[in-house]
Amino acid sequence: MPLEGKLTILREEREEDVPVFLALRNDLATQAWPKTLPPDFTMGMYRQRHEREFTMDRLDGRFAVEWKENGACIGHIGYTDLRPRWSAGIGITILQDYWGTGAGLDAQETLLKFLFEELGLRVVRLWTNSGNPAAIRLAEKSGFRITGRGREAVFRMGAIYDGVAMDILREEYYERHPELTDGLPPLTGDLT
Amino acid sequence: MGLSNPFQGQRIVLRAFEPDDADAVHSLLNHPELAGRRYLPDEFPDTTPVSTGQVRALIEKSGGGGRALNLAVASEADGALLGYASLDWWWEPLAPSLHVVIDPQHWRQGYGSECAHLLIQFAFDTLPARAVAGGCASWNEPAREFARRLGFMETGAARRAGLRRGQPFDWVRFDMLRREWEGSNNAAGR
């Protein structure tokens, strides 16, 4: 069963998705790396970078975002740095043609539901920068809060920005989702 | 102006690790007071016992690949190992991260400050850094006070960084901008 939202499906990456991922990686607006990479990735480089082997000990997850309306792959979303039953960091990239459609928020909410309901995380984090207000707004729509900054730590598009750290706690997620019941008891002292 | 060694302080010297340091590093890392504040790479334990094999691997890895410094803090007087320190700009030379760890038996004697001053100065002298950054667990009040005294500003915290004695704690972030360093007494008189 894929992870399904109202507008998008998060599914495994497929060979036919690679041109989309390559386009995202070679677009400075969607590259999403504060430390910008040259937009010169080739198909071969991309495939090499993303080759994965099967293991039961997964500390990351990576999904293609499929637009339900037409079945097109429109981006990717994933988590890294998993500390099992505790925390992970997320990242999302969507084709510019689909900005403003609700696709990003839908995919983000679908991933968060998986991380809290299935992986039982206590906190989910993300990093962006003050030069990317759209990313901050998207995160805030899902309940992320800005919790830290790295002052003047990012340079992109010709300007210096702050790195921005955001996170959402488990109880904050469930407060926003009264349709869900948190079946994982809080830890002692975990309510502050 | 004469030549000076940027890694030479009044009472300390920062030098590369050598294989002979293994026993002293093993003893230092396993000091119970340092559990949770070792600031090692992710693959090494932060709170649980460290083996001699892990220490050897750590020393082996300490070269830093040209984008980090991992140095022993040694006594200028007798060469004894006082601690270790790192400055890492692998991800972002605009904001290298600094960590200083001093053997608890040598705490509150000014070695940490001297070490931090050398490495902050090195960062701003040799890297295109806009800031030097650091972090520590929220329960580590001595480290937070140490950072404040050096001129760092707390800029937030990653919430729920871990559990300690059954209680969740945050990871406090701090940084100091180049202009703050240059405008402070720290960099005066160079």
Share of chain B above pLDDT 70, in %: 95
- Does the distance separating the beta carbons of B159 and A167 come in below 8 Å? yes
Strand pairing class (A72-83; A159-169): unpaired
For chain B, say whether A190 makes contact (Cβ under 8 Å).
yes
Spatial neighbors of A164 by CB under 8 A, at least 6 apart, are A127, A128, A129, A130, A136, A146, A148, A149, A150
Helix, coil or strand: residue B187: helix
Q: What is the mean pLDDT of chain B?
A: 93
Residues of chain A under the 70 pLDDT cut? 188-192
Q: Which residues contact A77 (CB under 8 A, 6 or more apart)?
A: A10, A62, A63, A65, A90, A91, A92, A93, A107, A108, A111
A35 contacts in chain B (CB < 8 Å): 91-92
Domain membership of residue A191 (yes or no) is no
Q: Which two tokens stand for residue A57?
A: 């000990």
Asked whether the predicted pLDDT for residue B2 surpasses 60, the reply is no
User: Hey, are the CB atoms on A151 and B131 less than 8 Å from each other?
Assistant: yes
Partners of B75 in the β-ladder: B12
Candidates B125, B150, B123; CA nearest to B136 is B150
User: From the candidates A90, A124, A127, A151, which should be mutated to test the interface with B, based on the most B CB atoms within 10 A?
Assistant: A151
Judge contact between B111 and B81, C-beta under 8 A: no
A12 in any annotated domain: yes
ipTM of the complex: 0.92
> What's the rounded Cα separation, in Å, for the pair A99 and A42?
25
CA distance A181 to A56: 28
pLDDT in tens, B119-153: 999 999 999 999 999 999 999 999 999 999 999 99
Query: Does some domain include residue A118?
Result: yes
* pLDDT the model gives residue B180: 97
Q: Quick check: is A189 in a domain?
A: no
Question: In degrees, to the nearest 5, what angle opens at C-alpha B101 toward C-alphas B96 and B107?
Answer: 135
* Any domain includes A75: yes
* Residue in this structure with the two tokens 């309510």, named with its chain if needed: A191
pLDDT of residue A100: 95
Q: How confident is the model at residue B189 (pLDDT cuts 50, 70, 90)?
A: very low
Residue A190, pLDDT score: 52
Cβ within 8 Å, pair B92-A35: yes
Mind listing the pLDDT tens digit for each residue in A55-108? 888 899 999 999 999 999 999 999 999 999 999 999 999 999 999 999 999 999
Specify the number of domains making up chain A: 1
Q: According to the model, what pLDDT value does residue A32 have?
A: 72
Residue A170 lies in a domain: yes
Q: Give the structural domain span for A91.
A: 3-176
Inside any domain, residue A181 = no
Q: Is residue A188 part of a domain?
A: no
Task: Name the E strands within A5-158.
Answer: 8-11, 61-67, 72-83, 87-94, 123-129, 145-156
Q: What is the CATH number of the domain that holds A147?
A: 3.40.630.30
Numbered residues of chain B with Cβ closer than 8 Å to any chain A Cβ: 91-92, 94-95, 130-131, 133, 153, 155-160, 162-163, 166-168, 173, 175, 177
**Helices B111-126 and B141-150, interaxial angle, to 10°?**
50
Nearest CA in chain B to A127: B158
Q: What are the structural domains of chain B?
A: 12-187 (3.40.630.30)
What are A61's strand-pairing partners? Answer: A79
CA A45 to CA A50: how far, in whole Å?
Answer: 9
Instruction: Tell me the one-letter amino acid at B87.
Output: L
pLDDT digits (tens, 9 = 90+) for B157-181: 999 999 999 999 999 999 999 999 9
Cα–Cα dist A91/A101, whole Å: 18
